[in-house]
Amino acid sequence: AIVAAVEALLAGDSGTTTTAKPLLGKHVLVTAGPTHEPIDPVRYIANRSSGKQGFAIAAAAAAAGARVTLVAGPVGLADPEGVSVRRVETARDMLAAVEIALPADIAIFAAAVADWRPAHEAGSKLKKDGSGIVPPLHVTENPDILSTIAHRRDGRPGLVVGFAAETDDVLENARKKLGRKGADIIVANDVSPANNVMGGAANTVHLVTPEGIESWPQLPKDEVARRLVHWIAGRLPPTA
């Protein structure tokens, strides 16, 4: 911590040091990881997500002085120090855990929530019938957690931050998402397999707000988290 403080003094950038506590007294809600949507007791549909970026954000928010609630889908990551963690499996579980965790000053929805789930969950393992013919899997839309929370009339967090994981037209899709979902900020990243973002240690993000787009260079996910938390803290409405 001393080394970090000295480095920060030398860099003249006290806003991003680990000793600055811009979120003291704030409650920050973070979601992370994928959701698993059961087909039957052994099979599921999922989104790729290691949870690393969301866990790093929760840790960075705690380091910035916030009280942090992390709602995490199934990932193999340990609870970040000083963070209250709720583990969930499905999108519906995640929405319920998020609603229970409110009110919050800032909500950062970094989870890769499955858009769809099987329309019917089988109670027993589905068996092949030997015919080689497989009936189509009927799917239904999951609740949209970001949009649901961003459009709340009562108890909307002061700042609602969404993530957009895209493979095509990244900025254009993020801009559309900002308006459609009612978010204040969309953190967009290109998760095309060639970029190795999913499961990897680095990320290249673009911060999309009604005022414009700020693009950051490729950075370690921990560093993205630290910068993002301080950047978001600087945008907190004075009344929050």
Residues that bind its own copies (CB under 8 A): 39, 41-48, 76, 112, 114-116, 124-125, 127-128, 132, 134, 136-141, 165-168, 173, 191-193, 198
Q: Which of the residues are catalytic? A: 47
Least distance from its own copies to the Cβ atom of residue 38, Å: 9
Using DSSP, state whether 124 is helix, strand or coil. Answer: coil
Residue placing its CB nearer to its own copies in the complex, 154 or 168: 168
| CB of residue 101 to its own copies, shortest distance in Å | 25
Please provide the distance, in angstroms rounded to a whole number, between the alpha carbons at the two ends of the chain: 29
CB closer to its own copies, 51 vs 157: 51
- Minimum distance from residue 97 beta carbon to its own copies (Å): 19
Closest CA to 72 of 106, 41, 34, 101: 34
Residue 235 burial class via C-beta count within 10 angstroms: exposed 0-12, middle 13-18, buried 19 and up: middle
The answer to whether 108 and 57 have CB atoms below 8 angstroms apart is: yes
Least distance from its own copies to the Cβ atom of residue 148, Å: 14
Asked whether the beta carbons of 86 and 70 are under 8 A apart, the reply is: yes
Q: What is d(CA 161, CA 76) in angstroms, rounded to the nearest whole number?
A: 24
Q: What tokens were used for 138? A: 């009927």
- DSSP string of 19-36, one letter each residue: T--TTTT-EEEEEESB-E
In the bound state with its own copies, the residue whose beta carbon lies nearer, of 104 and 109, is 109
Name residues whose C-beta falls within 8 Å of residue 63's C-beta, 6 or more positions apart in sequence.
18, 226, 229
CB nearer its own copies, residue 28 or residue 145: 145
61 vs 198, beta carbon nearer its own copies: 198
